[in-house]
Structure formats: C-alpha cells, structure tokens
C-alpha cells in the first residue's frame, strides 16, 4: 500500500474546504487561532467530501464561557480544539478529571455537553470489543481504548486505535461490540491561504 499526501487549501472565507461541505465563515477566522506548533485534522467521507475539521488551539483561545464550562468536567486542560462537525462549531478540551482519568469533553457552542471521550484500559473495555479489535487485520498494536458517551452520559460507541504494519486505524464499535466504521489515520499537509 502506497502512502498518499493530502493537501487541502483553506481560505479564510471560501475555497476548497468550504466548497466540499457546508461550513460557516467563522471557520476561516478560527483557522487563524491555530498556533505554528498546532495541527489541523480533516475527516474525509468515502466520496472525498469533508465531514469534520479539528483545529488544535491553545486552551486560552477558547471563549471564556466555554473554558468555564470545561472546568466543571476537567480539573485541568492540556489541549483544546475548535471543531466543525457537519458544519456545526463545537469546542473540545482534553485533560484530567478530578479523579485523574484522562478525558476529552466536546461541548456545543452553548456550553452543553455533546460528547465525552473517556480513556479506558483494556480491562475496562467490554470483552467483545477487545476480541474484535485485537482480531481485526491480525497482529498489531492497540494504542488506545475510549468509551464515547453522549450528553446524558449514555455509552454510544467505543473508539479503538490500532497500528497494523505501520498504518494507523481508528475502529468504531457500537456499545454491543459490532464494528460500525474504520478510519485510516494519516498525517497530511494543510495549506492555509492568509492573503
């Protein structure tokens, strides 16, 4: 399998990204919040459209009301993102809960919880998911287990990251252990037009 290099052009107000999906003009402004050492992640649909954009920013770049809402879930924030999912803006922060567990909190613009991504150990993960993940494409290395909960704290899925033959994948399982999707994760170059 040959690796491909992906280059997308992000214009502050228009361009390839905005033409691939319906994204608000604020995306261009938010792109400018990404520091030089930050990342931009883009999730593509099988047809090549843009489903999701994650802009890695410094935690202090989040609106104060969002920072305050995050503080009710996390004892400390280590990373933050401005995300667009199907064109809707969300805010995400990674950090530790008061009991020391690693977690990501995804908030709507109004500060309400949309999703929690809770890092789990293999022993905390349902056996059906562990078996399916370890068996998928044979030997490999599982690098993370995450329980995904909705705003009502119901488990809605599990995300498992696995490396096989130097390729990184994210496996998505429903709560009963059935595989729903597989994403191939690969580094990409993102070019942002600023003038």
The whole-angstrom separation of Cα 89 and Cα 97 is 24
Tens of pLDDT, residues 178-189:
999 999 998 877
The whole-angstrom separation of Cα 144 and Cα 39 is 20
**C-alpha pair distances (Å), 9 with each of 13, 19, 48, 132:** 11, 11, 14, 37
Q: Which fold has domain 8-192?
A: Nuclear Transport Factor 2; Chain: A, (3.10.450)
Closest C-alpha to 16, from 195, 166, 193, 171 = 193
Q: What is the pTM for the complete model shown?
A: 0.84
CB atoms within 10 A of CB 122: 14
Average pLDDT over residues 79-85: 95
Mean pLDDT of the chain, nearest integer: 87
Give the per-residue pLDDT at 22: 53
């Amino acid at each position: 399998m040959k690796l491909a290099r992906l280059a997308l052009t992000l214009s502050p107000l228009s361009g390839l990204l905005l033409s691939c999906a319906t994204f608000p003009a604020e995306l261009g402004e938010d792109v400018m919040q990404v520091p030089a050492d930050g990342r931009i992640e883009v999730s593509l649909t099988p047809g090549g459209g843009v489903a999701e954009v994650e802009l890695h920013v410094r935690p202090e770049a989040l609106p104060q009301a969002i920072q305050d809402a995050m503080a009710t879930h996390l004892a400390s924030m280590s990373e933050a993102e401005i995300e667009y999912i199907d064109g809707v803006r969300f805010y995400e922060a990674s950090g530790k809960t008061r009991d020391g567990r690693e977690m990501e909190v995804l908030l709507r613009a109004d500060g309400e919880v949309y999703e929690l991504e809770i890092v789990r150990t293999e022993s905390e993960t349902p056996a059906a998911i562990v078996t399916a993940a370890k068996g998928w494409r044979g030997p490999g290395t599982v690098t993370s287990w995450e329980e995904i909960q909705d705003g009502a704290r119901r488990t809605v899925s599990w995300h498992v990251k696995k490396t096989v033959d130097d390729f990184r994948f994210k496996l998505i399982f429903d709560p009963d252990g059935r595989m729903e999707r597989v994403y191939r994760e690969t580094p990409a170059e993102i070019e942002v037009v600023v003038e």
